Amino acid sequence: MIYVTKKVSFSASHRLFNPTWDNEKNEEIFDKCNNQNGHGHNYVLEVTVKGFPDPDTGYVFDLKKMKRIIEDHLLKFVDHKHLNHDVDFLSGIIPTAENMAVKFWEVLQEKFEPASLHKLKIWETENSMVEYFGDKVHIQLYDEQ
């Protein structure tokens, strides 16, 4: 088994806020990430697929094609957007890096055949990141963000 990773970046804003909590609890839990107008990050996303090299090309998956898939199915929807308001597939969730990883997986999971999606890594800052391997995770949905 061989693993191939494509790294891309995007900029987006979000607000971490649980609409079932009062302002005091949101401030206590989410601190400055609860800014009513949101705040931004320059995210780095690493998408890793796994598989066996094609005997004719030597590729597990063509990196140019991988980049195009990530751009067409994900980046064009999140880059320079407010994740709470502008991204349909994130609607109703708290857009933490953890929840974003699960939703990004759902968007990308079937796009890399014959290889398969192995891991998503989202860097929110240069010191903070989330890894997700596709395990079933329940994300709480809220009516209002």
User: Which domains, ranges and CATH numbers included, belong to the chain?
Assistant: 2-132 (3.30.479.10)
- Tens of pLDDT along 6-52? 999 999 999 999 999 999 999 999 999 999 999 999 999 999 999 99
73 as an active site residue: the answer is no
Catalytic, out of 28, 39, 71, 80: 80
Please confirm, yes or no, whether 138 is among the known catalytic residues.
Answer: no
Rounded distance, CA 138 to CA 144, Å? 18
Of 76, 126, 53, 134, the C-alpha closest to 101 is 134
pTM: 0.94
Catalytic status, residue 14: no
Residue found by looking up tokens 């759902």 in the block: 106
Between CA 103 and CA 99 the distance in angstroms is: 6
In the structure, what pLDDT confidence band is assigned to residue 143 with cuts at 50, 70 and 90?
confident
